[in-house]
Amino acid sequence: MDIIEKSLQVMERLKMTIINVLLGLAIIFIILVEAFETIILPRRVKRKVRLTRLFYQSLWFIWSKFAKGALSPKSRESFLSVFGPFSLIGLLSVWAICLITGFALLQYGLQSPLNCPEK
């Protein structure tokens, strides 16, 4: 009975390792493809689901609703004009957080040590 329990624990650990590695690689790949398509690719990408488009549409919806409801018409234009620079910084931040998460999952899944070797 002890051997069966240990082998089940090893199989469960191996399953979680594979899931973490695959999930980390998928996140890294998706974010790098999104960044390439958004920044470098010279033509429009025709896919149904794009993370960048989803980010901008949802953020613009919130930003414009806030501007329409809470601001006077004079200050609304200046508030809306800073959306572009702020959203670009926000998009780069989301990409960075996703890449950090992907690499963390990859490192956790591969169980690589974080300590520095003794000198």
Higher pLDDT, 69 or 26: 26
pLDDT in tens, 5-20: 877 777 888 888 899 9
The CA radius of gyration of the chain, in Å to the nearest whole number, is 22
DSSP string, 86-107: HHHHHHHHHHHHHHHHHHHHHH
Mean pLDDT of 1-8: 76
Higher pLDDT, 97 or 37: 97
Indicate the pLDDT class of residue 1, thresholds 50, 70 and 90. low
- Whose tokens are 């650990």? That residue is 13
pTM for this entry: 0.81
**pLDDT for the residue 74:** 77
Higher pLDDT, 21 or 69: 21
Domain coordinates in residue numbering, the chain: 2-41+50-109
**pLDDT for the residue 48:** 79
Structure tokens at 23: 């999930």
pLDDT in tens, 49-104: 888 889 999 999 998 888 887 777 778 888 888 899 999 999 999 999 999 999 99
Q: Length of the chain in residues, anyone?
A: 119
